Structure 1
Amino acid sequence: MELYDPQKIALTKYLFFTGKGGVGKTTSACATAVNLAESGNKVILISTDPASNLQDVFLTKLTNVPKVISEIPNLKVANFDPVSASNDYKESIIGPYRGVLPDSALKNMEEQLSGSCTVEIASFNEFAGFLTNKEIENEFDYVIFDTAPTGHTLRMLALPSAWTNYLDENQTGASCLGQLSGLGDKKESYEKAVNTLSDSKLTTLMLVTRPQQAAITETERASKELSELGINNQKLIINGILTQSDDELSKVIFKQQEDDLKQLPKALSQIEQLFVPLRPYNVTGLDKLRILLNTVQPQITEIDSEIKEYPELSTVINDFIKSGKKIIFTMGKGGVGKTTIAIKVAKALQEQGKKVHLATTDPANHLNLYLGDMPGLSLSHIDEEKELREYKEEVLNKARETMSGDDLDYVKEDLESPCTQEIAVFRAFSEIVEKADDEIVVIDTAPTGHTLLLLESTQSYAKEVERTSGEVPKSIQKLLPRLQNPNETEVLMVTLPETTPVYESMRLADDLDRANIAHTWWLVNQSMSATRTSNEVLKARSSNEVEWIDKVAELSNNHYAVAKWQADFEK
């Protein structure tokens, strides 16, 4: 593994930086752009990451119109807001029907178009414009994208039925792909964009990860999905490697990253691997971007070692007990530690004499490993793969009765969307939630607000169950009203003290608000600032967390807690 230096590796004209949220995609893309531009190349950098902090990195206001960075004349930067773009796109589809269709139908359409898939399509729309623009091709030596389209989006766009009237005729229930309505005029542009992506002479996929198992697993999935679509020119950037260990905490981190990298999946071990060391500073401003990829780094300045006192998880748990909550979800993006926090909450409630049931989608043996001997604590393990497999088969069996060929392929791709997995485990969740009649139920990983609203607005799931079993189980009938009862249900928002996880949690909070589901409490997990590390790099990093912990305090109206960093935490 060698240090990542854009000057020393083979790069194509188009560079896509992709990876799990919070791994450093934006930082890596920006540093690469600055490095190449200052070496005499004409470069344009485009971000369509909904959680992008591109404006903070360059310390200048950015829009979807490429802007010259005054200190680097060879560099132009554009920052698209895919959420706004997707809202505009939704309105372009729904607007003509206002005053024509009933409100219930408009609500259904709006929720169909409110998921992450719609944002991906809005992002790809921007990608396609740059990938197929002759003026861009002629003007720039390098076109760099922060955040690449997923394999799911690319497969979907390649299907003939995506460009037919399939969606207008679809009577099988909710679809995550409703956002393709009205895109017929984009077909040629999208085809050219997809072809450019798969041309290894033109495009390189820069897979960014951290030296941690959860991020590596997600990167392997993305690599495999995109390889299957012919996007094989890939490089792996392992960001944030701690290169020195001199106290107890740094030695634990050093050993953990070493172990995780030794077990690098075969697919990733076969592509070129590059690394960026963990730096002691936040990468904002050109001065930091210019030095990030340098071998020689400035000396670390003395950091104020004062440790702030923050509320602990026990504060949150005491409130759960006092308010009599019966259903508690730990919710957050992958990698923030939902499972560990769910276990801690369940154990603490049981120690207070409460009867508790803990449910998770993680393998049951992992729970047993972390729980130890906890007599009286009942467990449920939702086998996500099994639930997903069974749900897909039910839908496909029904589709086969009336469809074949391209239309059936389209349904199959629809079932690969992120929403499908949430809907698939919905049945299992509904049965577990029913246990709250006589015990406190703690659930690790919950359906998002969008999924719940999608199910509510279309009633598709209830119809599917009714069609396959003849009746709608009471557990499902009661579930949504129960989740929307703030006296009974609470979502504990779990995040990390970093830019992207906080912004992603804010979007989750918006989803829950739309679904009318209470989420009073936030937990900032894996905080370095809550430790007493003496390692210079880690101490400097911990000082950078303060602004994000303060941000969570503001977002939660001071209903928050902070948990210090610990090794081997689960997803």
Structure 2
Amino acid sequence: MLLIPDNTMTKYIFFSGKGGVGKTSMACATAIHYALAGKKTLIVTTDPASNLADVFEQEIGHRVTPIKGVGARHAVPVQNAPVQLFAMEIDPDEATREYKESIIGPYREVMPDDVIASIEENLSGACTTEMASFDRFIDFMGTNEYDVVVFDTAPTGHTIRLLELPVDWSRHIEESAEGSGQTCLGPVQSIQGSKEKYDRAISILRDPAETNFIFVMRPEDLSLYETVRAAGELGSIGINTGEIIINGIYPEEACGVDFFRKKYLAQQDVIKEADKLIDSPKRYMFLRDNEVKGIEALTNISRELFDSAEARKCNSAEVKKTPPLNSPLTKGGYRGVTNPEFQTPHFDINQLFLPQNGTKALFFTGKGGVGKTTVSCVTALRMADKGTRTLLVTTDPAAHIGEVFGKKVGTEPAEISKNLYAVMIDQETAFREYKEKVLNDARGKYSEDMLSAMEEELNSPCIEEMAAFEKFAQFIESKDYDLLVFDTAPTGHTLRLLDLPFDYARQMEIMADVSSGSSVTGNITKERFGNIIDILRDSSSTVFTLVLYPESTPIEESYRAMIDLKKAGVETQLVIANMVLPEEVCTNDFFINRRNMQIKYLGEINKKFKLPLAIYPLMEEEIKGIKLLRAAHIEVKPRYGPRVENRMKKVLFVCIENSCRSQIAEAFAKIYGKDIIEPYSSGSRPSGIVNPKAIESMKEIGCDMTTHTSKSLSDIPDIEYDYVITMGCGDECPFVKAKHREDWGIPDPKEMDAEGFRKVREMIEEKVKEFVQAMENE
């Protein structure tokens, strides 16, 4: 039987599961299968930290893009055969701009400017971003343009939230229409047309003849636990699970060493348990000795996935006993300092993690499935064992820290061991508490009509996100603990969480009651958000750590996260490579190949991130319980090839006024050129201010230029620069001593509208990235 029989094929196929289980690979392979079968197929990712482009090895982005090299199979080759496979990565920022314009656009020619400004203010709230991405996703559920639409969704907890939204928003629009006629996104009439679309989406999602929902899981206890829980939650809103793919099974023939034999037997136990707990068809996919990237590899996966014989047998190569490779990895980490790249001073992880003066916050983030929760639990326990009063907080809606500790963890801090407490932020509980608190505070201060209006606003689905953030903010501000350890959701959703104080700071200004200074959102104020932003940016009190697995996709996703954090003024201070194979247990071709791949990527991690690298080896047993958490060990290696200051290239970006182009280039150079270039900017006739439109354009992507100043040549060092880059000002550009000169020919955006500024900003960003890459290769 095929995964989805051709004779009853559903139009919409959803893939979800715990992070890191391989759902993107399975979704891509499925899309390729149908494209090769002659079906016009679209694959859409709803994950804000999408890696479709990494897997397909081509640029995709926020547009429907044809995937090269995938067309229908024909008995006889057909020239110029039509492309059958298309892909799109929904970008939250682009979706937000499109969504706002879809609402505002029809009114621009008929409404006065003050009304348009009012609508724009209503749409400036943080919930608009969630609504916009959701609306774009729904668009693909009403099209007849494709035979098959495959949705590669975010990790489970966020997918549940996504699929609940059409129900929540349809109800909220209906209730608001009967009440005040207002929603948090503005008047009901401005979004009334969306209700029919959402009702149609609900119908499609609940109809197994149109939609197949597939969970991908690993044969591990925690993955099974999350799959069972998520399937139950979907069932509660009328969506049934179609099939289960159990991915990453160890080939029995490769598991001769006791270390892997134990892991193989543990996996088999989980597979048997899955059969008991989940009454759905299942497919079985074996672990491969290389990573899945590119059309050829995905096509091989699709054949295995859709060939029932192949999907039920071990297809590993004949196992041969071979001596261990001469490699720098050992069970505890890197052996010695035989590699000169690691001959650098000792790095003290305790100094980084332990608080010095006041409360310290540690954030662990990364791609789903890389082991963030386990690493967070190991770290929190270790710091608590050192006598530090520690609170572990999970912001992941699919949290399982209770399962890792083997103790119940709820919405109030619970003692795990001496000095260690843990708590989870549950969005529904936070929402109930938040709503009750706001209404209780308002009673006695406002009329019954006002209270009814406030309650209606508080029933908006986007308030749930605000309530969860309020809970997060309370912990960030807490002084009850010496150390706060945050086990965050997968990368894209963590970046969204950290964007919220910036978004809400502006929204609170709009929502504030001018006469009383109070707000529907209770105690949240712009000043408070400013304090939270300051805490997140203070590297002495807050440490951001990226957890990754040494493979291409997690590395690329983590690097993008590091850049996005830097744009917001937040510096990453540590990288952890998790589940690194110990050398002594890799004694056959299968695991030697996997280990070789990891070693290659460990080198790339060092070169790309230029940060201290901590290595967590793969453990023989799944890490659960205090005893195993204490047994987990870590090896920290200092920063890769650190560049001393006099080796950094001094680069000057110049134009005439030093208000737009050169300022933007300097900002991007600081982001992408860390430890490589030392950037400056100036102008021959500085305007005295940085163009507000430039500041606003950079703010859209999370980069704060409010501290930049317009500088003359006398305000910068009088030296010979390694590079002077003129932005396109021709003969009017000032002359400055330099070893090398370039002119980028960037148009002046001073008189352009916001969209023009964005295009110039993107042009400068690409030029800076290319320049930094060239410097790295020197």
After TM superposition, give the deviation of residue 269 of structure 1 in Å.
Answer: 0.7
1:286 partner letter: I
SS of 1:200's equivalent? coil
Secondary structure of the structure 2 residue equivalent to 1:159: helix
Query: How far, CA to CA, are the matches of 2:169 and 2:548 in structure 1?
Result: 33
Query: 1: distance between equivalents of 2:261 and 2:401?
Result: 28
Question: Which residue of the other structure, out of 31, 34, 53, is the alignment partner of 1:33?
Answer: 31
CA 1:210–1:411 in 2, change beyond 3 Å: closer, same or farther? farther
* Post-superposition CA distance 1:485-525 (Å, at most 9, x none): 22222222323334554455456546644654443222122
Give the secondary structure class of the aligned counterpart of 1:492.
Answer: strand
Question: Letter of the aligned partner of 2:151 in structure 1?
Answer: F
Partner of 2:578: 525
Q: Deviations over 1:134-168 (max 9, x none)?
A: x43xxx3x443333863222323432517968999
- Can you give the 5+ residue segments of structure 1 that lack an aligned partner in the other structure? none
1:220 partner letter: V
What residue in structure 2 maps to residue 240 of structure 1? Answer: 248
Which structure has the greater CA radius of gyration?
2
Residue of structure 1 equivalent to 2:473: 426
- Structure 2 residue 623 is the aligned partner of structure 1 residue 569: yes
Residues 377 and 466 of structure 1, relative CA distance in 2, 3 Å threshold:
farther
1:489 match: 542
Task: Tell me if 1:329 matches 2:371.
Answer: no
| Secondary structure at the counterpart of residue 231 of structure 1 | coil
Q: Counterparts of 1:169 and 1:321 in 2: how far apart (Å)? A: 48
Deviation at 1:234, TM superposition (A): 1.6
Separation of aligned partners in 2, 1:282 and 1:402 = 60
Question: The residue matched to 1:219 in structure 2 has which SS?
Answer: helix
| Aligned equivalent of 2:17 | 19
In the alignment, what sits opposite 2:221?
213
How far apart are 1:242 and its partner, in Å? Answer: 1.7
Alpha-carbon offset, residue 329 of structure 1: 1.4
Q: Is the contact between residue 431 and residue 468 of structure 2 (CA under 8 Å) also seen in structure 1?
A: yes
1:45 to 24, 35, 42: 42
Give, in whole Å, the separation in 2 of the partners of 1:232 and 1:499.
33
- 1:380 equivalent to 2:394? Answer no
2:264 to 224, 235, 254: 254
| Counterpart residue number, 2:723 | none
Amino acid at match of 1:73: A
Superposition deviation, residue 449 in structure 1: 0.8
- Separation in 1, partners of 2:7, 2:266: 28
Q: Distance in 1 between matches of 2:118 and 2:556?
A: 31
Change (3 A) 1:300 1:7: farther
Distance 1:34 1:336, change over 3 A: closer
Quick check: 537-546 or 358-367, which moved more? Answer: 358-367
Match status 1:299 vs 2:310? no
Which secondary structure does the structure 2 equivalent of 1:444 belong to?
strand
Asked whether the 8 Å contact 1:47–1:79 carries over to 2, the reply is: yes
Q: Indicate which of 159, 166, 191 corresponds to 1:154.
A: 166
- Structure 1 residue 204 displacement after superposition: 1.1
Deviations 1:84-109 (A, max 9, x none): 53253366379989x97999998996
Q: 2:573 is paired with a residue of what secondary structure? A: coil
Q: Answer yes or no: is 1:201 the counterpart of 2:221.
A: no
Counterpart residue type for residue 483 of structure 2: V
Which has the larger displacement, 255-264 or 506-515?
A: 506-515
Where does 1:326-405 land on structure 2 (aligned, <5 Å)? 326-332=359-365, 335-346=369-380, 349=383, 355-361=388-394, 367=405, 378-382=419-423, 384-385=425-426, 389-394=432-437
CA distance in 2: counterparts of 1:222 and 1:167, whole angstroms: 35
Q: How many residues align?
A: 545
Tell me whether 450-459 or 555-564 shows the greater mean CA deviation: 450-459
Structure 1: distance between partners of 2:524 and 2:463 = 25
CA contact (8 A) 1:316 1:560 kept: no
In the alignment, is residue 279 of structure 1 matched against residue 322 of structure 2? no
2:609 corresponds in structure 1 to: 556
Q: What code does the residue aligned with 1:390 have?
A: E
After the TM superposition, which of the residue ranges 101-110 and 440-449 deviates more from structure 2?
101-110
1:489 touches 1:518 (CA, 8 Å); kept in 2?
Answer: no
**Alignment check: 8 A CA contact 1:281 1:540 kept:** yes
In structure 2, list runs of 5 or more residues that go unmatched. 74-82, 336-345, 395-399, 409-414, 489-493, 630-778
Q: Which residue of 495, 498, 521 corresponds with 1:449?
A: 498
For residues 104 and 558 of structure 2, what CA distance do their matches in structure 1 show?
A: 27
Q: Is the Cα–Cα contact under 8 Å of residues 94 and 109 in structure 1 kept in the other structure?
A: no
Which of the pair is proportionally richer in helix? 1
Question: What residue number does 1:132 align with?
Answer: 143
- Measured after TM superposition, the shift of residue 16 of structure 1 is 2.1
SS at match of 1:382: strand
Normalized against structure 1, the TM-score is what?
Answer: 0.75
Identity percentage over the alignment? 23
Deviation at 1:327, TM superposition (A): 0.7
Q: How does 1:184-199 map to 2 (within 5 A)?
A: 184-199=192-207
SS of match in other structure, 1:254: helix
Alpha carbons 1:423, 1:451 under 8 Å: kept: no
Q: How far apart in 2 are the matches of 1:335 and 1:44?
A: 28
